[in-house]
Amino acid sequence: MSLVANTGKLAGRTLFITGASRGIGKAIALKAAKDGANVVIAAKTAEPHPKLPGTIYTAAEEIEALGGKALPCIVDVRDEKQVQSAIDAAVKKFNGIDILVNNASAISLTGTADTEMKKYDLMHTINTRGTFLASKLCLPLLKNSDHAHILNLSPPLNMNPYWFSVHVAYTMAKYGMSMCVLGMSEEFKPLNIGVNALWPRTAIATAAVEMLTGDTSTSRKPEIVSDAAYVMLCKNPKTYTGNFAIDEDVLKQHGIKDMTPYACDPKNADKLLLDGFLEDPAALGQHQYVLSASVRRYHTTAVTRCEKKETEGQIPVLFGTISKVITPELVKNTQAVYQFNVKGKEEGVWHLDLKNGDGGCGQGEPKNPPDATLTMDSTNFADMFAGKLKPTTAFMMGKLKINGDLQKAMKLEKMMKSLKNKV
């Protein structure tokens, strides 16, 4: 659902959008198409993906159905020849390029030890190098436009060490895109080329988010980003440049006060999953325990089942309850071992084995290597297992630090739904 009316300001303009076969990139393309814009769909997806819908050709059909003109181009933004070939094709068909949207991106939310170098290279060559390359090659054409914009889908440059500590490789790659905004906006001012960044305040219901979390009920629709992008791209590039904008803020300044229609589930409009890199007041207080936590080894004995402890507090009681609801079916469906490094008032190490034998939980490190290690404050930990705080929400808000297999860590969310009424 779009809440921003099309004005026709992009009619006849040519947009070169990387990664536009699906998700946010396609949403921006469709919004521009309603103005009668020309869209170059520069993306890799020429053949249907087994799990992700959409190709450059199906996106082209949708664009043209809305009144725009489309040019689907097979482009890997890491390949200079492919990018240049698509630009040449755009010139041949549309006589130039007015707007570049650097949307293509790769993500791996892993810590240093768990980031394979091929993943590191993928993120840096697509996110940072791909953005720089597309901007560099489009520059001669943007110089000739009287409405030249570059828009990068990248976050504000937030120097809080927390955002580096949780996934330094990904942060570096995304910040590389943002640094392109910082530098190019100043460099291209004399050329009247507006260079800006746009980032969502909340999770957006794309296929990638759904694959990662299995749930988009606490996300917003891609249209909130495409509406914000449209507002930004309609502005005068001579005066609107060097901004690190947040979708919600752009729309509020445009006069839209109620964001509820953008929520995938209106019931969760006030419980949305926050995106990363933002200094949200709700998350700020939770960052410090991660930032100040010292690295230490815990020499404790793992046990296979929770036993009653004389220790007072919520955590021992919580694990005592969890031990009663572990079933062979839960072990079969989860297939993961978790280690919990609990901070705060009830500091300690606990484990939950939902992979081996009949499963088990208890105090201390697990007997088998953990698939995921989760670090969080004891209060938030109790809330998470009581169903008051979702793991994905805790992670995105900075309340939860994850090392290891992120997807297995996120399986806790589904598991907790079955535990919520019993814990």
Q: How confident is the model at residue 307 (pLDDT cuts 50, 70, 90)?
A: very low
Q: Which residues contact 105 (CB under 8 A, 6 or more apart)?
A: 19, 126, 127, 153, 174, 177
Per-residue pLDDT, 163: 86
Averaged pLDDT, 2-21: 97
Per-residue pLDDT, 70: 98
Per-residue pLDDT, 300: 24
Note the pLDDT tens digit of each residue in 378-399.
888 877 777 777 777 777 777 8
Instruction: Give 374: exposed, middle or buried? Use CB within 10 Å, 0-12, 13-18, 19+.
Output: buried
Find out whether 373 and 341 touch, Cβ atoms under 8 Å. yes
Q: How confident is the model at residue 211 (pLDDT cuts 50, 70, 90)?
A: low
Residue 341's SS3 state is strand
Residue 86, pLDDT > 60, answer: yes
Find out whether 388 and 354 touch, Cβ atoms under 8 Å. no
Residue 401, pLDDT > 90, answer: no
Per-residue pLDDT, 398: 77
Report the C-alpha gap between 74 and 294 in whole angstroms: 48
Structure tokens at 310: 């004389």
Per-residue pLDDT, 345: 83
Q: How confident is the model at residue 323 (pLDDT cuts 50, 70, 90)?
A: confident
Question: In the predicted model, what is the mean pLDDT of the chain?
Answer: 86
* Amino acid type, 45: T
Per-residue pLDDT, 422: 52
Note the pLDDT tens digit of each residue in 58-77.
999 999 999 999 999 999 99
Residue 115, pLDDT > 70, answer: yes
Q: Which has the higher per-residue pLDDT, 279 or 311?
A: 279
Find out whether 173 and 109 touch, Cβ atoms under 8 Å. no
User: pTM of the full predicted structure?
Assistant: 0.71
Per-residue pLDDT, 123: 97
- Residue numbers annotated as active site: 170
Note the pLDDT tens digit of each residue in 291-306.
333 222 222 222 222 3
Residue 279, pLDDT > 80, answer: no
Q: How confident is the model at residue 420 (pLDDT cuts 50, 70, 90)?
A: low
Residue 276, pLDDT > 70, answer: yes
Q: Which has the higher per-residue pLDDT, 268 or 214?
A: 268
Long-range Cβ contact pairs of 378-381 (< 8 A, separation 24 or more): 378/313, 378/314, 378/315, 378/342, 378/343, 378/344, 378/345, 378/346, 378/347, 379/344, 379/345, 380/286, 381/315, 381/318, 381/340, 381/342
Out of 218-227, 285-294, 375-384, pick the least confident. Answer: 285-294
Note the pLDDT tens digit of each residue in 155-207.
999 998 888 988 999 999 999 999 999 999 999 999 999 999 999 999 899 86
Q: How confident is the model at residue 51 (pLDDT cuts 50, 70, 90)?
A: low
Out of 121-130, 352-361, 405-414, pick the least confident. Answer: 405-414
Note the pLDDT tens digit of each residue in 242-258.
999 999 999 999 999 99
